[in-house]
Every structure is written in structure tokens, then in C-alpha cells.
Amino acid sequence: MQAKELKIYKGSGRNYAPVPQIIIQGKWLRPLGFFVGDKVTVTQEGNRLIVEKCKDGYDTEEEAAMVAEPVCRYAGPLGRCGRWS
């Protein structure tokens, strides 16, 4: 696998102080074994960050539910929640 170049963004820390932020996303993560819902550990060795999957928690149905979960919408002053059709 070839290296990916990512940009360091400005995130918002405590009291809105700027902090470095790295966003790792994309379909290229799936062939590497990373799926929606997985947990990872990030460790530092010198100037390297190592991202490792904590455990194999991949579940196709769980991933689909996390991505396509129906959203509740506000339905008046009583706060009733209706599902999208």
C-alpha cells in the first residue's frame, strides 16, 4: 500500500483554543480491515503515529445501521418524534 498524505487541520480545543487535528476517512480503510464502529488505538513512536485496530468488531448490519439510521425530527411543542418515511 502506498503512503497517504493527510493535512493537519485546526481543531477546537478547550476554550476554543486551536489544536492540531487529523481526519482519517475513506473507502481505502476497508481493505486494510478498518470498518465503521471499530475501535482503534493510536500510539506514538518518535515522529510516527501508529493506528491499530483494538479488536475485530466488524458487523455488516451494525455498519449499515450506523450509516443509514432513520433520523428523528421535531414534531411540535410536545416533542413527539416521528420517523422519516
Residue 57 has what pLDDT?
56
Rounded CA separation 4/24 (Å): 10
Evaluate whether 54 touches 41 at the Cβ level (below 8 Å).
yes
Rounded CA separation 73/78 (Å): 12
Q: Which three cell numbers stand for residue 31?
A: 481493505
The pTM score is 0.57
6-51 pLDDT, tens digit each = 999 999 999 999 999 999 999 999 999 899 989 999 999 999 999 9
Q: How confident is the model at residue 85 (pLDDT cuts 50, 70, 90)?
A: very low
51-61 pLDDT, tens digit each = 999 876 555 66
Rounded CA separation 8/5 (Å): 10
Whole-number CA gyration radius for the chain: 18
Rounded CA separation 57/35 (Å): 8
